[in-house]
Structure 1
Amino acid sequence: MSNHHYKVMVVDDSAVVRQNLSDILAKDPMVEEIITASDPIFAMQKMQIVWPDVIVLDIEMPRMDGISFLKKIMAERPTPVVICSSLTTEGAAVTMEAISAGAVDIIGKPKLNIVGFLEESAETFLQIIRAASQARVGKLASYTSKPAQSHYKQSSLSPLMTTGTTWKLVAIGTSTGGTNALETILTALPPLSPPIAIVQHMPEKFTEQFAKRLNSICQIEVKEAVNGDEIIPGRALIAPGNRHLMVRMSGARFYAEVKEGPVVNRHRPSVDVLFRSVAQHVGQNAIGIIMTGMGDDGARGLLEMKKAGAYTAAQDEASSVVFGMPKEAILLGAAEAVLPLRMMATEILSKAGHSGGRF
């Protein structure tokens, strides 16, 4: 948990949302000041007097939209920004633009009964804000995406790929700062890469848009996992928001199992749930990677993977936006290697090469 005081600014054109978020933030003893603004123009005036440590930002606002404001902040003085966006497909698409512009996390809000929703989600909201207050957004600047080369997507490769799995399965878990970290890794992978299963803490609706965005810039296929999907070389599956993702094997093939199930470590999807299923069903034919994020989700699961014979790695502190999850895994002795983000893609390819048909 955060052990430092911080100032939060809430920028939202709804007075009800501003009031409710302020009430929730006031419950956190570490929040020393709450500043509110009904739009980015007022926010900028207030920021001349007090610059916040975290900004909670709505996207659709009068006078200036949230994305333009976010880009302006990132250009002037990079500050952790959490997008508070409507839980709609349209809202999710715009939010992905905010993520690529440097926002560190997302809070989804429904169109109806927003007060009830915010009260129910108060603890999650506070966790996200605390994590953001510790985020080192300067790290995001080095994650700038590069356009992918020619797109050999799944269709052209599938005959070659479905002749049997000889690749190791890669399981990746991440949270705050992870959207950019995943982009860095996945855009660096060639079309024929190991099968990948990913848990990124993110609300529902947003995971589908996130997967679509990655799919458009990667050489591999990236999609939101659907129950029963085969996890094949050249494909990465991302756990859908509010659903757990597990991996099952049938013969030499990997399949996705998507379930509701209880919240684990305050998360659904939970990295631990994915990692444990991989430890149990895939064992030594797996690679586990834990990256930037608040808390300890995934640390114990990674240890189980290591004990089952899998190769395990954690992102290093210098390249992590929030060094929470990797740190916990390292403290548990769950990570065989601690690596900077820029080395992860190469490491995945070197460790996941054809496993000599052990099945």
Structure 2
Amino acid sequence: MIKVLVVDDSALIRSLLGEIVKAEKDMLLVGAAPDAYIARELVNRFSPDVITLDIEMPKVDGLTFLEKLMKARPTPVVMISTLTEQGAEATLRALELGAIDFIAKPKLGVAQGIEEYRALIVEKIRLAANTKVKPRIKTEVSQQLVYKLSGTEKIIALGASTGGTVALKEFLMHLPANSPAVVITQHMPPGFTTSFAQRLNSTCKINVHEVTGGERILPGNAYLAPGNFHLTIVRHGSDYRTVLSDGDRVSGHKPSVDVMFNSLAKCAGENTVAVLMTGMGKDGAAGMLALRGQGSHTLAQNEETCVVFGMPREAINLGAVVNVLPLSDLASEVLSYLQRVNAGSRL
């Protein structure tokens, strides 16, 4: 039985989330707290397996409560955030502090919106309950990686979902300013990708952009798929360009890692190094298999360093992965491989 504590200053949200939890046979609602002080008492009394936590609360905000919780009593937390720029920034900070995942509150028609999210909420609570909370260590680049070659033809492709915001940040922070171009699909709603790209750009040596479509893919730059659009890569003369697609969900997601990987398999197979990182589900596995079939070097994050091993595991089971490595070793392996195969030749 999964013991769930709901923490939210909105009585309506507390009631709705509480009803969703109580309707599940494998879940037990141990309490619903309107603020951090009552939440602390309930945590000490019931030792919940999962906490849903609102970011915007009176007295003590959700981030302050989360930071103290992770130091005193590490517990799987699913953040309940708003679909605003401020909400996105706070959510990304929460994930850095140790939250497992987040669910965006609907802006209008809260009751109806929460009902529509029922399946997602239940899924994320179950996922969090089966996740071991890892202590968050501040990412520090003790030795900056060096890339001695030049050229625009090589592409590093990254796919991630649950836990990916922290994993991607660590990977990108290790890349030098002249790194080969990076394309990224991270499962995230619209607006959140804008804040995520800005956050990465402020901490990494390479330039990180949210894709708007039509960008020429150049070294020293990373291109992040925007929420609710698929990112595809196409050949354009002697270069590669970004193209956004407003199609249906693929592998349950939009943006989809499979869509990005499959596009690269068609136009840049041997020039691509693909990395599948932490995430729930199987998005990216089939696309990575297609990439490997076209001569790409394919890597997966290992189970020990993943928040959720779902996506890498599916790719490994398909035979799509050349090598499985800890998160801390992925960036160095990518650059080492590219230098080994003489990545400096121009198209």
Shorter-chain-normalised TM-score: which range?
Answer: over 0.9
CA distance in 2, matches of 1:358, 1:332: 33
Query: Do structure 1's residue 131 and structure 2's residue 118 form an aligned pair?
Result: no
SS at match of 2:278: coil
Query: Do structure 1's residue 74 and structure 2's residue 74 form an aligned pair?
Result: no
Query: Do structure 1's residue 315 and structure 2's residue 309 form an aligned pair?
Result: no
Query: Do structure 1's residue 145 and structure 2's residue 133 form an aligned pair?
Result: no
Structure 1 length-normalised TM: 0.89
Number of residue pairs matched by the alignment: 341
User: What is the deviation of 1:356?
Assistant: 4.7
User: What is the deviation of 1:216?
Assistant: 0.6
Query: Do structure 1's residue 206 and structure 2's residue 192 form an aligned pair?
Result: yes
Moved more, 313-322 or 104-113: 104-113
SS at match of 1:83: strand
For residues 13-162 of structure 1, what are the structure 2 equivalents within 5 Å? 13-138=9-134, 140-142=135-137, 144-146=138-140
- Tell me the equivalent position of 1:233: 219
CA distance in 1, matches of 2:103, 2:292: 33
CA distance in 2, matches of 1:21, 1:148: 43
Could you report, residue by residue, the CA deviation over 1:248-277 in whole angstroms, capped at 9, with x for unpaired residues?
121232221122211122211111111111
* Structure 1 segments of 4+ aligned residues over 4 angstroms from their partners: 147-150
CA distance in 1, matches of 2:186, 2:192: 11
User: What is the deviation of 1:352?
Assistant: 2.9
The Cα RMSD (Å) is: 2.1
User: What is the deviation of 1:148?
Assistant: 9.9
User: What is the deviation of 1:279?
Assistant: 1.1
User: What is the deviation of 1:147?
Assistant: 7.4
Mark the runs of 5 or more structure 2 residues left unpaired by the alignment.
Answer: none
User: What is the deviation of 1:114?
Assistant: 1.4
Do 1:149 and 1:219's aligned partners in 2 also have CA atoms closer than 8 Å? Answer: no
Could you report, residue by residue, the CA deviation over 1:112-163 in whole angstroms, capped at 9, with x for unpaired residues?
211222222222222322222222221x524x2237999xxxxxxxxx97xx
CA distance in 2, matches of 1:149, 1:317: 24
Mark the runs of 5 or more structure 1 residues left unpaired by the alignment.
Answer: 151-159
User: What is the deviation of 1:40?
Assistant: 1.3
Moved more, 19-28 or 8-17: 19-28
User: What is the deviation of 1:31?
Assistant: 2.1
Query: Do structure 1's residue 335 and structure 2's residue 324 form an aligned pair?
Result: no
Q: Return the letter of the residue paired with 1:332.
A: L
Could you report, residue by residue, the CA deviation over 1:208-234 in whole angstroms, capped at 9, with x for unpaired residues?
111111111110111211111222111
Q: Percent identity?
A: 45
Q: Return the letter of the residue paired with 1:95.
A: T
Structure 2 length-normalised TM: 0.92
Relative distance call for 1:246 and 1:208 in structure 2 (3 A) is same
